[in-house]
Each structure stands twice: as C-alpha cells, then as structure tokens.
C-alpha cells in the first residue's frame, strides 16, 4: 500500500483544488517525494492536511483554535470558503487495508457550521471506522505516519508512559489497542447496560412478582369459581329440581283434588236440587188436607174429652149424691156440696201433680179450708128447702145417659179422624224418610266436600309455600350465580336430593373468593407486558452477561496478542535504535528499556493510604508500561537524555524514528522538516538512511535540506502569491536527469 494522490480544497491556504501525485512504485521500492518552498508558503499545511484527513482531533496540533480554522479564511482579494476537504488516494493492491477495493479513498470534509463528514470511497463512515481501517494498515495520525516539527524532540521530552503511546503505533499494536479500547468501551457500556438492566429487573421484579401473585390468585380464583359453579350447579340444581318436582306433584294433586271437588260439588248440587224438589213435593202433596184432618181430629178429640170430663163429673156428682142419699137423707144443699166436690177433685189433682214439699204445705191450708166448707154444708140441715137429692140424682142420671150417647158418637168420630191422621202420617213418614235419606247423602257428600276442600286448601297453602320458595330460590340464584350457569341450573335434571350438603363448602369457597378479592381488567395486559419486558430484559441480561464474558475473553486475547506483538516489535526497534544511533553519531551507545509498574505504585504514599481497599486492589491490578530511552554519544557519559544538546536530541529522535520505520514500516511517512536542526554532515547521514528506508516505505519529506532533496524522486515546490493562496509546482527529478543526459 502506498499514497498515490493527495487532493486539497479549501484547506487552510490551499483555497483552490490542489492535487499532489506521488511517484508510483518503480520496481519494488517506493519513492521519496520532497516538498520545498520558502517559509510561510504553506508547506506544513500539506502535513497538517494528511494528519487532519487521518482523523486528527487536536486543533493545537493542527495549529488552530477552532474547527473552522482549517477552512480557507479568505484574503484581501479572495473571499473565504464555506468548507474544507482533503482526500487521500491509497493504492491497496496488496490488500493491506481490510477492504475489498484496489484503491481506498479516505476523505474528510468540514463546514463552517462545524458539521464534519468522513468518507471511504464516497461512503459516509464514522471516525472510528477510519481509525480502525488505518490502524490495520499501520497508519497513525498522531505518531510516526506524520512526523511534524517539534515531534522529534517531544518523543524524548515526554514521560515514559506518554512515550508508550507512540510505541503502540510503532509496534503495530495500535489496531489491537483500538479493538481493545472498543472492547473496554464495550465492556464499560455493557456493564452500564448490565447495571441498568439489573436495575430495571430489580424494579420490575416486585411488580412482576405482585402480578404473578395476582395471576396465581386469579388462577386460584378461577379454580374456586369453577368449583363454586360446580357446587352451585349441584346445590341450586338439586333445590330447583326438587322444588319443581314438588310443584309438579302438588299441581297434579291439585288437579286431582279440583276434579274431586268439582265432582262433589256437582253431586251436592244435584242432591240439593233433589232435596228441594222433594220438600216442594212434600209441601204440595194433597192427601186429605192433613192440617184440616188434624184440626178435625183435635176438635173431635176435644169434644170427646169434654164429654168424658163432663161424664166423669156428673158420674162423681151422682155417686156423691147417691152416697149422701144413703147416708143423710136430709135436706142438704146439694149444689154447694157438688161445688165443694168439684173443688175437692181439683185439689186432689193438684196434690197428684205436686212434687215439692213447699207446694204440699200450701195445699194443706186449702184442704183444711175445703174440709171446713164441706163440714159446714153437712151441718147445715135446717136450711131452707131445696130440690131433693132424688130429683138431682134422676136428672144427673138422665144427663149421664145423654152424655154417654154423645160420647159414643164423639168416640166414633175420634176414631175416624184418628184413622185419617194415621194414614196421613204414614204417607208423610214415607216422604220424610226419602228426604231424610237424601239429607243424609247430602251431609255425607258435604263432609266429603269439606274434606276435599280442606285437602285442596292444604295443597294450595303448600303450593303457595313452594312457589314462594321457588321465587326466593330464583332470586337467590339471580343474586348468587353469574352468567349462563343460571340457565344450566334451571335446566338441570339431576336429582341429588341434597344427599350431600354442598352449602358449607359453597360458603367456604365464597369466603375464600372474598379474601382473594377482584382483579382489574388490565391485570392480564399488565402481566403480559411486564412479563414480556422482564423476559426481554432477562434475555438481554443473559446476552449482556454472555457478551461481557466473550468481550472479556476477547480482551484477554487482545492483551496477549498486544503483548506478544509489542515485545517482538520492541526488540526490533531497540536493535534498530542502537544501530541508527551509532550511524548518526559515528559511535556511542543507545538503548530502550521497558518498565512495568502498577498505578498504585505510581501514586504518592499519602494518596495511596487514603484510598479504600477496593480502590487499592483495583489500582494494584492495573499495570502501566513506560519506555525509558538511554543515549550516550561517543566520548560522553550521559545519565539522562535531558543532558543532550539540541542537535544530539534531534539525531537521537531521528535514530529512534528510523528504527521504528524499519521495524514496522507505515505505508507512507510524512516528514515535516525533521532535518531542520541537522548540520550538513548529519543531513547527509540522514538522507542516506532515508534512501535505505525508502525500500520499505514511501517518504514525503517537507524540507529545506539539500541532501534530502537529492534523494527525492519528485520535487514539489510550494509558493504563495499576494492573494494568500498556496500554489504547487512539481518536478520529476528522474525525468529531468534523463533529459539532461
């Protein structure tokens, strides 16, 4: 790989597009190009442009203060430009750059607004991509690929640890160090991401756990709800079926009872109509007019009784008169005597009827009075003459005979009337018997109807209870049961008959469900999203841990490669440094020493004592490497390189640079007046070294030194006119020599 062409446009003093073409390989050796010109003409801007396009970020090294300082700022006759652009055209036939192109064009452009662009073969890339690509090809924008004014002395004046950075590029481990830095950066980023992911997982885990618990509770709730539905189906299904069965049975019984009730009512109504008809017929029956016959019978019987009574009275009166006539044939007032006899008869009848002692006591006084009255009548013999007793007897006898005749006639009439009454009573008794039988049937039916009505009423009461129970059960089902289970319960045909009481378990399940509580509708979505995020983060955590492990392994491998490569190249550089030092100084001794020291050892003891144990362990495990340079010109005993003179320091630096170039040649090296401090003899020695090294690498030397110019194959002259713009002139020295010859 070598530099074919350099294009500048708007970069510092190169306002116009300027193209520098460098000699191609002739044979197998690169050529040397020299850039010459007066001070201030812009020669060093060429070196700055190369450093800038290779990715230099330090404005101090580019001799500027702001990013826009690299853009042509204008002059009295020419306006300033809006951008600066530099392009490197590299021949990559040997594929030293890890890219599938024979020519690699690296371009950088910057605008006045600060916007910057990097391109590789006209494709936008990152600075890191360019740095890695160039590092793989042993380029370095800040070290020996572009060696500027003062850099040679900076190598010697820098600390051993700062000098180590220069040697990293010189030994060809820069590409690995870039990868190492990327790996470390990746490790740091990965650790930060890992910490962030762990932090997020720590934040998410409690919520996820809570959601998982809710999901578990929900699953438990689902199981309990399923069990509850099963139990409710059995419990309420059994009750509903049992209730409906009882209702159906009662309704069937009610239908049967109602049929019986209706039949009995019908029969009872028929008997009632029959009974009314019989009673009506009985009332309307005209068999001798019973009332009239009965009245005639009573009249005849009364007349007979009256005649019998009269006959008895007259008979007694006759008997009394006859006894009186026999005993006292005197003139006794018979009328009074008869009247007293009648009173006696009445008294006797009263005594017969008397049943109490007090009544008898009352009758004693009446008997005494009647006795005295009869005694007085019998004592009154000398009273005025009255009708004789014989006549009275005769009259009474006559009357008695007449009454007996009437009595016989009355008795016949009574018998006749009695027969009529008896016949009527027989007819009435028969009708009454039919009515009575009908009434008995009616009463029997009425009792049956009452019994049926009672049963019907009992069934109605039970039916009302069952219907109320069914209504309450329906409301309880509506209240307790959810979803289509209601229809399933009401359509169930099981007949558990409550052989197993499910209610205690239902109550326990409901209690457990109440303890579990409800769930928000978003729980599933939240759990799904949280679980998805947690799983994603867990996967990321696993990937990050795996990536961290692999990156650490790669870092250890890179460290091993870097150490091996560095040590190998360092030995070559040290050997070359000694060799070139002796050439440039015509003798003397020079060496490079590699020092290893931990960061803890580099610290002040007081500062180290103030650190924590963890910090001390961390610093103790961090090793820093430094490079000590020892150089002693012939005839001198120098303990440190700081004791060398300016010329000696310049020669020492050049010897070191030449050793580095030989040990690990860069595709090209830009030398910006590195030979300015050399005298003529040393300049010739330096030019001779360049000529030898040009077989390994391409040199672009910005110089005022004649010896260096003599070694160049092509010479570019840089001038600047009044407009402040650098212009380029070129001479192919080999062609010029050929033309002279």
To the nearest whole percent, how much of the chain has pLDDT over 70?
83
pLDDT digits (tens, 9 = 90+) for 362-404: 777 777 777 777 776 666 554 444 456 677 778 878 888 888 8
**pLDDT per residue over 193-221, tens digit each?**
888 888 888 888 888 888 787 778 777 87
The whole-number pLDDT of residue 384 equals 46
Q: What sign has the CA pseudo-torsion 128, 129, 133, 134? A: negative
Q: What SS3 class is residue 91?
A: strand
Mean pLDDT, residues 437-451 taken together: 77
Give the sign of the dihedral formed by CA 200, CA 201, CA 205, CA 207: positive
- In what helix (H) or strand (E) does residue 103 lie, and over which residues does it extend? strand 103-111
Q: Is the pLDDT of residue 455 over 80?
A: yes
Cross-sheet strand order for the sheet of 103-111: 18-21, 2-9, 83-91, 103-111, 116-120, 123-125
**Predicted pLDDT at 385:** 45
What does residue 54 show for φ and ψ, rounded to 5 degrees?
A: -80, 0
Q: What is the pLDDT of residues 559-601, one digit of tens each?
A: 888 888 888 888 888 888 898 888 888 888 888 888 877 777 7
Q: Which of 88-92, 174-178, 221-225 has the lowest mean pLDDT?
A: 174-178
Average pLDDT of the segment spanning 506-526: 75
Tens of pLDDT, residue by residue over 303-341, are 777 777 777 777 777 777 777 667 655 555 666 666 776
Asked if 684 and 691 count as a contact pair (C-beta separation under 8 A), the reply is: no
pLDDT at 105 over 90: yes
Could you tell me if 695 and 11 are in contact, meaning their C-beta atoms sit under 8 angstroms apart?
no
Query: Domain extents for the chain?
Result: 1-139+670-741
Residue 8: predicted pLDDT? 93
The arithmetic mean of pLDDT across residues 550-561, rounded, is 86
pLDDT (tens digit, 9 = 90+) per residue, 654-706? 888 888 888 877 788 888 888 887 888 888 888 888 888 888 888 888 988 88
Res 739: pLDDT:
63
- The DSSP code sequence of 108-155 is EEEETTS-EEEEETTEEE-HHHHHHHHHHTT--TTTTTEE-TTHHHHH
What is the structure's pLDDT at 333? 62
User: Could you tell me the pLDDT band of residue 87, with boundaries at 50, 70 and 90?
Assistant: very high
**Separation in Å, CA 501 to CA 232, 496, 600:** 11, 10, 82
Q: Hey, which of 323-327, 431-435, 528-532 has the most confident mean pLDDT?
A: 528-532
pLDDT of residue 107: 94
Angle between helices 160-170 and 646-663 (to 10 degrees): 40
Q: What's the mean per-residue pLDDT of the chain?
A: 78
Which tens digit of pLDDT belongs to each residue from 258-311?
888 788 788 778 877 877 776 666 665 544 556 676 777 677 777 777 777 777
Topology (CATH) of 1-139+670-741: Rossmann fold (3.40.50)
């Amino acid at each position: 790989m070598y530099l074919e062409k350099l294009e500048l446009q708007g970069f510092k003093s190169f306002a116009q597009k300027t193209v520098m073409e460098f000699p191609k390989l002739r044979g197998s050796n690169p050529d040397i190009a020299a850039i010459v010109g007066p001070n201030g003409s812009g020669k060093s801007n060429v070196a700055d442009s190369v450093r800038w396009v290779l990715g230099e970020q330090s404005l101090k090294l580019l001799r500027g203060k702001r990013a826009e300082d690299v853009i042509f700022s204008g002059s009295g006759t020419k306006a300033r430009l809006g951008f600066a652009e530099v392009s490197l055209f590299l021949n990559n036939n040997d594929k030293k750059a890890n890219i599938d192109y024979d020519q690699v064009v690296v371009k950088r452009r910057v605008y006045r607004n600060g916007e910057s662009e990097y391109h590789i073969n006209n494709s936008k890339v990152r600075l890191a991509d360019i740095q890695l690509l160039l590092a793989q090809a042993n380029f370095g924008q800040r070290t020996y690929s572009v060696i500027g004014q003062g850099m040679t002395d900076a190598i010697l004046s820098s600390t051993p640890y700062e000098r180590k950075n220069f040697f990293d590029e010189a030994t060809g481990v820069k590409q690995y160090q870039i990868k190492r830095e990327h790996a470390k950066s990746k490790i740091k980023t990965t650790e930060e991401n890992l910490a962030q992911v762990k932090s997020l997982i720590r934040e998410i885990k409690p919520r996820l756990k809570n959601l998982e618990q809710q999901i578990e509770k929900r699953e438990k709730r689902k199981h309990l709800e399923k069990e509850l539905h099963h139990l409710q189906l059995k419990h309420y299904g059994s009750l509903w079926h049992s209730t409906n069965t009882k209702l159906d049975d009662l309704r069937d019984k009610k239908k049967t009872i109602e049929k019986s009730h209706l039949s009995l009512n019908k029969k009872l109504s028929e008997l009632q109509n029959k009974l009314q008809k019989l009673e009506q017929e009985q009332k309307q029956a005209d068999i001798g007019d019973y009332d009239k016959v009965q009245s005639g019978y009573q009249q005849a019987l009364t007349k007979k009784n009256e005649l019998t009574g009269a006959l008895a009275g007259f008979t007694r009166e006759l008997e009394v008169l006859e006894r009186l006539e026999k005993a006292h044939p005197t003139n006794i007032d018979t009328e009074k005597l008869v009247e007293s006899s009648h009173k006696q008869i009445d008294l006797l009848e009263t005594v017969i009827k008397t049943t109490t002692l007090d009544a008898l006591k009352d009758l004693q006084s009446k008997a005494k009075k009647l006795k005295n009255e009869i005694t007085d009548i019998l004592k009154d013999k000398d009273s005025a003459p009255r009708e004789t007793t014989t006549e009275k007897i005769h009259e009474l006898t006559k009357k008695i005979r007449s009454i007996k005749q009437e009595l016989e006639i009355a008795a016949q009439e009574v018998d006749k009337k009695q027969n009529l009454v008896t016949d009527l009573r027989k007819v009435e008794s028969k009708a009454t018997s039919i009515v009575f039988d009908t009434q008995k049937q009616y009463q029997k039916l009425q009792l049956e109807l009452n019994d049926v009505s009672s049963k019907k009423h009992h069934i109605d009461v039970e039916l009302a209870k069952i219907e109320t129970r069914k209504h309450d059960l329906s409301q309880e089902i509506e209240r307790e049961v959810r979803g289509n289970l209601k229809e399933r319960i009401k359509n169930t045909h099981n007949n558990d008959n409550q052989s197993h009481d499910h209610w205690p378990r239902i109550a326990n399940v409901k209690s457990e469900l109440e303890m579990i509580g409800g769930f928000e509708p978003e729980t599933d979505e939240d759990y799904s999203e949280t679980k998805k995020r947690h799983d994603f983060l867990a996967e990321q955590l696993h990937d990050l841990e795996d990536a961290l492990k692999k990156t650490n392994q790669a870092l250890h491998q890179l460290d091993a490669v870097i150490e091996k490569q560095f040590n190998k190249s360092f030995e070559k550089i040290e050997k070359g440094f000694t060799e070139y030092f002796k050439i440039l100084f015509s003798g003397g001794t020079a060496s490079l020493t590699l020092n290893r020291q931990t960061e803890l050892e580099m610290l002040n003891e007081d500062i180290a004592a103030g650190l924590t144990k963890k910090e001390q362990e961390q610093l103790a495990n961090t090793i820093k490497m430094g490079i000590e340079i020892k150089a002693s010109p012939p005839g001198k005993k120098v303990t440190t390189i700081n004791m060398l003179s300016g010329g000696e320091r310049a020669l020492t630096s050049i010897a070191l640079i030449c050793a580095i170039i030989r040990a690990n040649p860069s595709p090209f090296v830009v030398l910006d007046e590195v030979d300015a401090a050399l005298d003529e003899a040393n300049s010739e020695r330096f030019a001779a070294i360049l000529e030898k090294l040009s077989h390994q690498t391409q040199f672009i030397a910005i110089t005022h030194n004649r010896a260096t110019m003599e070694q160049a194959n092509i010479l570019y002259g840089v001038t600047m006119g009044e407009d402040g713009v650098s212009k380029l002139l070129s001479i192919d020295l080999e062609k010029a020599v050929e033309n002279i010859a």
